Amino acid sequence: MKTFLEEVNEKIKGVPIQRCYHCRKCTAGCPLASVMEYNPNRIIKMIQMGMKKEVLNSSTIWLCASCETCITRCPNEVDIARMMDILREMAIKEGVPAKEKNVILFHEAFLWGIKLRGRINEPLMMVNYKLRSGDFFSDMSMGIEMFLKGKLPLISPKTKNLRAVKDIFEKTRQ
Ligand code: SF4
Ligand code: SF4
């Protein structure tokens, strides 16, 4: 039977995560480390120690924003953003509920927006998310502020090759 570390490495298909020597440069640059249950390099340590249940149940894997700051800073090119994707996929496949409320609905609204236009239109995505979640009023003031500063354009360009995007969705059955 494969260890948790072997399972993760097999799916990453890149630099094996045991190459991490815990310098914490990833965590120092991660914009979300301060609100994470376990910081990014701690998650790597937990994988190395076989703590699958704790990792898949942690809010960290759902709070990661896939910004890739960590891999940019890592001297060993450990792809933490990809690792977090793999951990989220594992949690879904194994029926582990997401620890962050409505986060899966947010991901679904994001993918819905990409499938529709090939690019994200934030206001459209937020409407879709609000309808899915029924959470109409949280972040409302921030949304209005962003809109007034021109950060939420109502019209955004569509991708030129929407067919190629739809093909990706079909191939991955989304
Ligand atoms: S920056 Fe790379 S080597 Fe350093 S702790 Fe993070 S993953 Fe490990
Ligand atoms: S990809 Fe995730 S773990 Fe890495 S820096 Fe961004 S938020 Fe943090």
Structure tokens at 63: 């709070």
Q: How far is the CA of 19 from the centre of ligand 2 (A)?
A: 18
Residues 123, 128: Cα–Cα separation, whole Å: 9
Query: pLDDT of 52-95, one tens digit each?
Result: 999 999 999 999 999 999 999 999 999 999 999 999 999 999 99
Domain boundaries, the chain: 4-93, 103-171
Q: Is the pLDDT of residue 31 over 90?
A: yes
> Given this model, what pLDDT does residue 42 score?
97
Residues 6 or more apart whose Cβ sits within 8 Å of residue 72: 29
Q: How many CB atoms lie within 10 A of CB 103?
A: 16
Q: List the residue whose alpha carbon is closest to atom 2 of ligand 2.
A: 64
pLDDT at 144: 87
Q: Which CATH superfamily is domain 4-93 in?
A: Alpha-helical ferredoxin (1.10.1060.10)
Residue with CA closest to ligand 2 atom 5? 30
Q: How far is CA 45 from CA 37, 53, 54, 107, 146, in A?
A: 14, 14, 12, 27, 38
pLDDT at 29 over 80: yes
Whether 154 has a pLDDT exceeding 90, the answer reads: no
